[in-house]
Structure 1
Amino acid sequence: MTERPIDYAAVFRCLPGMVAVLTPGLVFADVNPEFLRGTGRSRDQVVGRHIFDVFPDNPGDPAATGMRNLEASLNRVLATGERDAMALQRYDVERPGRPGDWEARYWSAVNTPVLGPEGAVVLLVHRVEDVTELIRSRGGRAGGRARVLEAELYTRARELQELNERLRRAHAREREVALALQAAMLPTRPQVRHEAIAVRYRPAVGALNVCGDWYDLIDLVGGHRIGVSVGDVVGHGLEASCVMGQLRSALSAASRVAAGPGQALDVLGRYAHVVEGAESATAVTTFIDFDRHTVTYSSAGHPPPVLVHADGRVEFLDGATDPPLDAHPDPLPRVQAVTSFARGATLALYTDGLVERRQEDIDVGLARLAAALRTHRAADPESLADAVLTELLPPDGATDDTALVIVRL
């Protein structure tokens, strides 16, 4: 028996609560009839207009913060891609057809993102419940006691919003310091003899999930050889930046004296055991020998480097993958593998922010990366890096930071 398709537009129109759909620019894309009834507005007065043009804060109340708090909540959802339930809010509404006549109203709101195929927020669902009558009815039954309770609820809600705002500012300051530290430790230009290299770092949007990614490039002793590494530390902010710096420096030192990348990651794994915050960190390192035209590589739980040969053939370097750093109580020797290349090939190392998206298998992101590298392989490394970031990262930024290294072999 074939089931009849659900008419979701009809479902939206029949929702018993007040629901609005907003664009990322906070413009009303649609509202259900209950939203219009509850706000006393017509569809023409709402759809296609910015939310705060339709519903501004009461200009006659200097202490009014309801709309400002709503804006902060909506921006948090846009930045994080996560649902945000607001505390009870008082924001007054101008009575329809009576300019300057504002009515005190109390609302309970929840803002939910609608994610597109790339993981970016494409719409916002704003669900709001008007609880004004509930508070007023309590006041009618219980008199002064209920009005005191109403005032306390409003005060507590405002205090909570103020606390959230202080936390937001604290996170923003931490983000700025962490990014400055990150920039100081990650050079924007490779410090190696080989010049055909491009490096990129893109911080995550919002205050979280930032400053755990890193890259490193060093000259190796003996012939025309370089070491290229990327890694990812679990965590965010200053703590992640500090752990990142320790692991990056340790791997850089180990690579200069190690017989190969496997031994370098072996040393790094043992060091990670004594670094607080290094749990589950990942890294991959490659030793590129331009004289022998080989890439020797080893991975500790990290997404595989991509080698695009001059003829367009794509090879994922996944033949030497071990668990993340500090995964075993007693560190085990790391494996390594080797592959060859011809002049004109391209090697790409990256962190998972480039290829991972919510509700999407990572293989989809890896295929997208391979296609972008193959399509633009004739471009110089700088142009290739820009093209890859443009095609793979959401236009409004990713929710995880991203490091990318492109080497023309």
Structure 2
Amino acid sequence: MNDSAIDYAAVFQALPGMVALLTPDLVYADANEEFLRVAGRRREQVVGRFLFDVFPDNPNDSGATGMRHLEASLQRVLATGERDTMALQRYDVEDADRPGEWEERYWSPVNAPVHGPDGKVVLVVHRVEEVTELIRARGGPSGSRARVLEAELYTRARELQDLNDRLRQAHAREREVALALQEAMLPAPRQLGHHRAAVRYRPAVGALNVCGDWYDLVDLVGGHRLGVSVGDVVGHGLEAAGVMGQLRSALSAASRVAAGPAEALDVLGRYAHVVDGAESATAATTFVDFDQRTITYSSAGHPPPALVHPDGRVEFLDRATDPPLDAPPDPGPRVQAATTFTDGATLVLYTDGLIERRHEDIDTGLARLAGSLTRHRAAEPERLADAVLLELLPSGGATDDTALIVVRL
């Protein structure tokens, strides 16, 4: 039997467990027969309605927090695009036919994303395991065991939920401090003579995967020259922000005295070997010579810079790529290459959060970037940067942070 012969709508309705489909706005798109039966709802009372209008928290019981925890789980799925399994939850469910009457229920939910062709979450599969009968069993020895089990399961579930809440609060505080530290260490945008530049940093959604990305602009000695760099540190939070600051400062100093970008990255790689937390860090740096209209570049395991020519052609600077900074056990001279540009061209450096998507080839992300740069090539750097971020980053935020720098040549 092939896929075209399977009635998936009928399969969904016949699933033996409780399953519902939610839109990104948390409106019920569908619910199977078992979900409606166990929840005590008719289809017209569920489908097309907001989740928490159908199942609100019990206003008479401040301890009824199941729906609030459920909302937090669903928002995590929408933000990260990843499955979220919840601890056993107690819910007070209002009788649909007798408003004001509430029944204590115990459900164990799993929420999983459904991705559209563009990688965005278009639906959330909300599966619920009903364990109320087990928890609330009564009568004889089995009832005693059930009451013990009820107390144990509920206590452990609340302890786990409280621990998760405390961890998220701690991560959120660390995130705020790390972002403030990173903002203080990254250079502010500035006018480069008659050349214009725009810089952007977009932190990842959630408390993790932030503060490892950086950018830098350096006035080089000798002629009308500029160093433009980006880098990415593996890790998150305060540790990543600290390593990021060390590497950015080291490359900034090395660029001012190095003969070219390869030598600057060679020095940075040797330095990275003695910096805890710099494992697998990547960087790309370009030396722009405005007098000679040349760009000399080198990359240490980083996505290639993009040169947007005035006619809309996008040239990825990918002819000088070496392993990440600390990868070679015995670092040797790194490679570099050069290209030319004309007035009105645009140089774009970025980190992998802009182009990489799970389950997608990197060439797809590069092509998406090239298309956006071509469409908006006439825009000023500030508008160009905003347009690229708007088109390439997921609407709910990315799961990796992103740095972007745009320089009009």
Query: Over residues 47-85 of structure 1, what are the superposed CA-to-partner deviations in whole Å (9 max), with x where a residue is unaligned?
Result: 121111111122222211111111121122122221111
Letter in 2 for 1:294: T
Q: Distance in 1 between matches of 2:215 and 2:2?
A: 54
Q: How does 1:14-53 map to 2 (within 5 A)?
A: 14-53=14-53
- Map 1:123-142 to 2 at 5 A: 123-137=123-137, 140-142=140-142
Supply the AA of the counterpart residue of 1:85. T
Whole-angstrom distance in 2 between the partners of 1:292 and 1:138? 86
Partner of 1:229: 229
The question of whether the paired residues in 2 share the 8 Å contact of 1:192 and 1:217 is answered with no
Give the Cα–Cα distance (whole angstroms) in 1 for the partners of residues 70 and 139 of structure 2. 26
Name 1:405's counterpart in structure 2.
405
Give deviations 1:176-208, integer Å, cap 9, x for gaps.
Answer: 111111111113313754531111111111111
Deviation per residue, 1:326-371 (Å, 9 max, x gap): 0011112110001011111111100011111111111011011111
Secondary structure of 2:173 counterpart: helix
Counterpart in 2 of 1:200? 200
**Cα distance change, pair 359–5 in 1 and its aligned pair in 2 (3 A):** farther
CA distance in structure 2 between the partners assigned to 1:6 and 1:270 by the alignment: 59
CA RMSD of the aligned region, Å? 1.6
- Contact 2:134 2:146 (8 Å CA) reproduced: no
Name 1:143's counterpart in structure 2. 143
- For the residues of structure 2 that align with 1:86 and 1:170, how far apart are their CA atoms? 19
Distance 1:399 1:140 in 2: 51
CA contact (8 A) 1:308 1:315 kept: yes
> 1:86 offset after TM fit, Å?
0.9
Measure the CA separation in 1 of the matches of 2:176 and 2:125: 30
Q: Which amino acid in structure 2 is aligned with residue 114 of structure 1? A: V
Tell me what 1:88 maps to: 88
In structure 1, distance between residues paired with 2:162 and 2:68: 11
C-alpha distance in 1, partners of 2:117/2:327? 32
Select between 394-403 and 218-227 the one with higher mean Cα deviation. 394-403
**Structure 1 counterpart of 2:252, one-letter code:** S
Q: Give the share of equivalent positions with the same residue, in percent.
A: 79
Separation (CA, whole Å) in 2 of partners of 1:322 and 1:139: 71
Q: Report if the CA contact (8 A) 1:192-1:218 is conserved.
A: no
> How far is 1:381 from its partner?
1.0
Amino acid at match of 1:310: P
User: Per the alignment, in what secondary structure is the counterpart of residue 107 of structure 1?
Assistant: strand
Q: Quote the Cα distance in structure 1 between the aligned partners of 2:188 and 2:125.
A: 40
Tell me the residue number matched to 1:78.
Answer: 78
What is the letter of the counterpart of residue 73 of structure 1? S
* Residues 191 and 218, structure 1, Cα contact 8 Å, conserved in 2: no
**CA shift digits 1:270-303 (9 cap, x unpaired):** 0000001100010000000000000000000000
Asked if the contact 1:190–1:199 (Cα under 8 Å) also holds between the matched residues in 2, the reply is: no
List runs of 5+ in structure 1 lacking aligned partners.
none
Does the CA-based 8 Å contact 2:138-2:144 persist in structure 1?
no
What amino acid maps onto 1:208 in structure 2? L
Give the distance between the partners of 2:214 and 2:170, measured in 1 at CA. Answer: 24
**Whole-angstrom distance in 2 between the partners of 1:138 and 1:334:** 73
Distance 1:192 1:253 in 2: 19
Moved more, 336-345 or 4-13: 4-13
Distance 1:195 1:14, change over 3 A: same
The runs of 5 or more residues in structure 2 that have no matched partner are none
Q: Indicate if the aligned counterparts of 2:385 and 2:406 stay in contact, CA closer than 8 A.
A: yes
**Distance in 2 of aligned mates of 1:315 and 1:5:** 47
CA distance in 1, matches of 2:191, 2:274: 29
Residue identity opposite 2:21 in structure 1: V
Bigger drift between 399-408 and 146-155 goes to: 146-155
Q: 1:117: Cα distance to partner?
A: 3.0
| Cα contact 1:139–1:145 (8 A) shared by 2 | no
User: Aligned AA for 2:189?
Assistant: R
Task: Find the aligned partners of 1:125 and 1:280 in 2 and give their Cα distance.
Answer: 36
Question: Deviations 1:150-174 (Å, cap 9, x if unpaired)?
Answer: 1121111111111111111111111
Matched, 1:379 2:379: yes
Distance change (3 Å), C-alpha of 1:72 and 1:368: same
Paired letter, 2:350: Y
- Letter of the 2:385 partner, please give it: A
In structure 1, what is the equivalent of residue 58 of structure 2?
58
Structure 1's 395 and 139: CA in aligned 2 closer, same or farther, altered over 3 A? Answer: farther
CA distance in 1, matches of 2:362, 2:348: 17
Q: 1:143: Cα distance to partner?
A: 3.3
Do structure 1's residue 388 and structure 2's residue 408 form an aligned pair?
no
Moved more, 371-380 or 220-229: 371-380
